[in-house]
Each structure stands twice: as structure tokens, then as C-alpha cells.
Amino acid sequence: MLKMRMKSLLFVMSMLAVRSMEASTTATLSEAMQFFEQHQLAKAGAVFEEIATMAPKPEDRAQAERWLARFDWWFYGKPEMARHRLLEGSQHGVNTSELLIELSMLEAHEGNFSEARTAALRALLFAKHNEQMRDAKVRFASAVVEEAARARLKSEALPDKNILADAHSTLRRIVEDEPGLLEPSRLLLTASLLREDGDGALFAFRSYYRIASDPDAYSPLRQPLKNLELVLPGWKGQKLPADQAIAIVHALADSRFFAEAAIVARNPDLEDSVRHACADILSYADFLQYVESSTNEYYRLTALGKASIATWLRGILHELLSRWMTLGISGEIPTVGDLSALDETALEKILDQISPIVLESLGKHYGAYFNFGTTAGYFDLHMGHVVDDEKQVIEQYGRRAVIHLTVLDMMTSNGFQSWAWCYESQHGGWATEDTIYQIRPSMADSPLDMWQALTDPAKREHSEKFIQTESAEDEMRATQNPYVYLPGMATRLKLQALENLRSQLRQRGLEGSALRTAFLAAIEQDDRNATILAHEGRHVIDMQAGIKDPTELEFGAKLSQIAFALLPREQLLSVIDPVLGDPTPHGQADLQIVKGLVGWMQKQAAEIKGLTPGHPLLPQLDLLTDDQIREAIRSLDPFAALHPVPHL
């Protein structure tokens, strides 16, 4: 087995918990989502079907229909059935915009771009709040830009340029209003390159990597950004000289925008010399596209219990070996013979043999990082590209470790679970004995989502309704099981954390855009400090101390994540989550911590303001102050007793 395959020490950035605040649901719907997050599709589907036909609330029925449609097209390969569900559901006047946004995603996935645009425009008409309006606009623009990008990559003429101009304008307004959103920023970059708008491309580039807010971020991007700043400004519709086109292609590739680099290089108006000079980049972009599509199909079959690891690995190895000489890299791969005759074990041995060579070569030339291995019981792939790498000193409770923090972006694959969660939850990173890997896309939009959850009136209304409904059910859940996931209480914790942060910033005199900027920066910093440096840093410290048991490692890492957080209430959601108590290391560590918290509350009941004696304690966890949360967490950590004040 590859040494790189130790990925069980992986943490998750969950968007499902955030999204649960956006809709009025029932306990049964929460149960369905819990089955979904545990990859129990049949059980989740059965509960969704029951809700869709029997739930008293029409919005719950619509939400269930949307998820059933997602199952149909994402997992089961039945787009016609999904289309029927969504079209029929959109006639009922409940959650119409969400259903049509889902339909737009489905049609784009199937390559029906005209239908995807139509569905997105209809979704815009029925949008009830700002986020739905933005999502509908992004889906419209995505359908336009993806269709044009596919044409360009085939060196074909672009489809309707007027529609592309509309999409470009729409994206520009979105990114100007909310800079830093990843998907709109990357779509704007692609649209700008297709429309030969250098200023727009540079604006989108800066927004995607949030370089304007932190000019020193992501050191590997500094030189390619300087190169782009030399050639992009002033490019407006004219044919580029070959040397400038080549410079743009290489700067985009050096910035890990490989598909976008290919879009520039494959402009049929450019001289053949451009494509010849960029042949290695074009070959690598094609290789990434193959790996992504074949891996996603492997994941789909994995979710259905029908996957063949051998078939998947054989295809990737064949593609890599056949392209090796075209990728412009050094290093020779040993001869492996006829792949078609090899079984899974033999193919994994080949991976063991060639992976160090491939990783070093692709890493040096393209910034690539990949890791085949088993995560949460599933054989999968994590493959992305390094945008930052720096040395960090981690200190916790008198113990110290020096590690590398490697930030990955442009993920070709972020593991089976991220795909199976439809990217509404994602793997956030993992640790080895000397390196922490952070997946930037899984965390980059979290601060923006939290700001929206706090400030968007419609989302707040949904959240309050959700809390009211779920909190009543939480009491019953905790009566039946004192250590169970409580969605109502979890939502209260999140809103309390966000409200507390906003109040602290307002006490410093911040309002308006300054308040928003400071809020986003604080959330981003807390995510980095808590989920990366504290959580993954604890993994490194513990592994260097010889701790190997995955559950014990997760237990310690989550304790550090909460204890060292600026917002311990928000970080508690890494424990109060749908996998609480399941048989995975995460689920068992969660259970151990929750039991400890309830025990601490029993002992300290007199010190908890507002506690109702005789009632289950876990639903009252949000009554603890931030200092009490840290104290309770430290009481569970054997290393904290030696150093009572935690520090990073």
C-alpha cells in the first residue's frame, strides 16, 4: 500500500448543516438527510418518498421531491425521471425557484444548455430572496459559459455571442457585489477569456483567489499574477500576438487554471505556433478532464455498489502512460506491460511503484498533488494543485510540531464522499506526520454563506422557523437518546456564534461594507486556525507522539479545534453533526465528546445560567458561554490539565 494512503485523518467542511437553516423541514426530513450524509441512499430515498407523499407541509414535500430528483440524475442516471419530478413539482407554487434551479443543473449536466438557460430564467422569475436570485443568475450564466467553452475547446466557433455578452455582464455584477465567490469568479474568468476581455479576466482572477484583500496570499501565484498584469490590461477584442497569447496561457497554467489556459490556446484565430508552444499544457488539461469524468463515474457506481476499482485504475493508468511523453516533464516510468490483463491488486502495486515518480514530476511541472487511498472505507482519489505551501509551528498544551501547510485548489477530485454529498459537504483536508493539506474550495465560500445566513432576511426567517420546529423535536430526541444529533440546537449554536461575532465587530465601530469585510476575514481566520492549524495540527502532534488509533486521533483533534477557536460555538458543529454516533472514527469521536459535555453539564449545572433542571441536557448546550464551552472541552483533554490556557 502507498504510504500516502493514510487519509482517515480527514476533516469535513459541511454545507448541509448550513443549508438546513434555509428551509422549513420536519424531523423526518432531517432523518433523510442524515441517511444521505451516511451514504445510505436507499434509506434516504425511502424517507424522502414518504415525505413527498405524506408530509403535511407543502414546502417539505417540495424539498423531498428536489432531493429525489437529485438522486435520479446524480446517482441513478435517470434524467428523464428527475426532469418529470422537477417539472411537475414546479407547478405547485412551492419552492418553485429551487426546483427550477435544480432542473437547470440537471439540463446542463446532460448537455442541454438551451433548456438549462430556460429553467434558470424561470427560476429567476420565482425567486423569493437574494440568494435564490443570485443562484438562478449563476445557473443561467454557467449554462451559457459552459456551452461556449466546450465549443472553444473543440476549436469551433462560439455559439450566440450576444447571450455570452449577457452572461458576462451578469457575472460581472455578481462578482462586483460579492467579490470572492468562487464559482461566479471562475465563470467570469472563462467568459472574459472567451470574449477577449483582459481587464475582466484580471478582475475575475483576483476575485477567485481573493488577492485584493491579501496581496501576500498564495506565494506560488505571485509571479504568474505579475505576468498576467503585464499582458491582460488593454486586451479588448483584438487578436493577440503569438508571444502574448503564449504568455497568457503559461501564466494561467502556472496559476492552476488549466482549462482556462486551454480555452485561450485553442482559439482558432491564433497561429498554430501558439498551440505548438503550449502542447504540454493542452495535453495536461485533457488528462485532467479524463481523470475527472472517469473518477466521477467510478464514484457514481461506488454509491450504487457496482464499481470496479480495477476498471477505474486501468483507465487512469492507460491515459497517464499514453500521455507521458506529451506532458513536457522529466522522469521515466517503468514499463508496466499489458494493463488489460491485470487485476486490482496488480494495478495497485503499479501505483505503488510509479506514484513517487509521477507525483514528483507532475508536482514540479504543474503543481499537482494526488493521493489514491481509502477514506472512510471507500477507495478514492484526492487530486488538486498546490497554490500555497508554508512552514508552520504548531504549539498545543506544551507540545510542539513544525509542519508544512499545503493549500490545494483546482480539485480534479476531492474524494468519494465529497462527490456523494453532491459537494454540499466536502472534505476539508487531512494530515500526515509532517504536512497539513487544506482543500481551499471546501472552505472559501463558508464565510460568505455565514454572512448571508446572518443578514439575508428571507434566510433568517427560514432559520427561525427551522429552529422553532426542530427545537421542539430536539427535546423528544434527547429524551429517547441523550447523545444524539439535534438539528435545532445546532442551528441555534451557529446563529448565536455569528450574532456574537457581529456584535463584537460593531463594538469596534464597524458598519456597512467595513463590517462585512471584517466579518468575512474573522470567519476565514477562525476556519484556518481551528479546522486547519488546531485540528490538523493536533493530528500531527499526536501522530509524532505515536498515537495511531483513528478514533483517538479524531477525538483529540476535535477537542483542539473547539478549544482554540475564536468561535467555539460554531466549531462545536463539527461534533453536533449528522454523523454523531455512527461507526466511523469521526462519529465515534463525536459521541465520546458529546458524552463528556453532557457529563460536565451535570456536574456544573448550578453554574449554567438558564438551565432547566430535570430536562435533557444536550438540547441546552447552547446555554453555555464561550468560556464555559472551552472549559468543558479542556476538561475532556488529558493534555490540557498540564497547560490550562490553550494557545496556538
* Domain end marker among 441, 470, 501: 441
Do 462 and 376 fall into the same domain?
no
CB contact burial 65-104 (16+ within 10 A = b; e otherwise): bbbbbbbbbbbbeebeebbebbeebbeeebbbbbbbbbbb
Do 546 and 569 fall into the same domain?
yes
Q: What is the structure's pLDDT at 584? A: 87
Do 490 and 632 fall into the same domain?
yes
Asked if the structure places residue 14 within a domain, the reply is no
* pLDDT per position as a tens digit, 359-371: 999 999 999 999 9
**Helix (H, G, I), strand (E, B), or coil: what is residue 411?**
strand
Do 591 and 625 fall into the same domain?
yes
* H or E element, residue 4: none
Angle at 294 between CA 290 and CA 298, to 5 degrees: 165
Full-model pTM: 0.83
Do 437 and 462 fall into the same domain?
no
Do 612 and 503 fall into the same domain?
yes
Nearest-angstrom CA–CA distance, 345 and 277: 39
- Residue 623's nearest CA partner among 552, 579, 584, 572 is 572
Cell representation of residue 231: 499582458
Looking up cell 464565510, which residue turns up?
A: 447
Nearest-angstrom CA–CA distance, 366 and 93: 49
Do 432 and 505 fall into the same domain?
no
Alpha-helical regions (H) of 367-424:
415-420
- Residue 635's nearest CA partner among 562, 538, 571, 543 is 562
Q: What is the structure's pLDDT at 645? A: 57
How many domains, in total, are found in the chain? 2
Nearest-angstrom CA–CA distance, 366 and 600: 50
* H or E element, residue 47: helix 41-54
Which residues of the chain, if any, have pLDDT below 50? Answer: 1-9, 15-27, 646-648
Nearest-angstrom CA–CA distance, 401 and 394: 5
Q: What is the structure's pLDDT at 19? A: 38
Do 492 and 515 fall into the same domain?
yes
* Strands 368-375 and 425-431, bridge-based pairing: unpaired
* pLDDT per position as a tens digit, 513-551: 789 888 988 898 898 889 888 998 999 899 989 999 999
- Rg over alpha carbons for the chain, rounded to the nearest Å, is 25
* Domain end marker among 395, 424, 441: 441
Do 328 and 422 fall into the same domain?
yes
Q: What is the structure's pLDDT at 212? A: 62
Angle between helices 446-455 and 512-527 (to 10 degrees): 130
Q: How many residues are there in the chain?
A: 648
Do 521 and 627 fall into the same domain?
yes
Do 436 and 455 fall into the same domain?
no
Nearest-angstrom CA–CA distance, 301 and 305: 6
Asked if the structure places residue 27 within a domain, the reply is no
**How buried is residue 28: exposed, middle or buried, by Cβ count under 10 Å (0-12/13-18/19+)?**
middle
Alpha-carbon separation of residue 273 from 87, 248, 249, 268 (angstroms): 49, 14, 13, 12
Half-sphere exposure of 613 (CA within 13 A, CB side): 5
* Domain end marker among 416, 441, 466: 441
Cell representation of residue 116: 438549462
Asked if the structure places residue 248 within a domain, the reply is no
Residue ranges making up the domain that contains 385 = 306-441
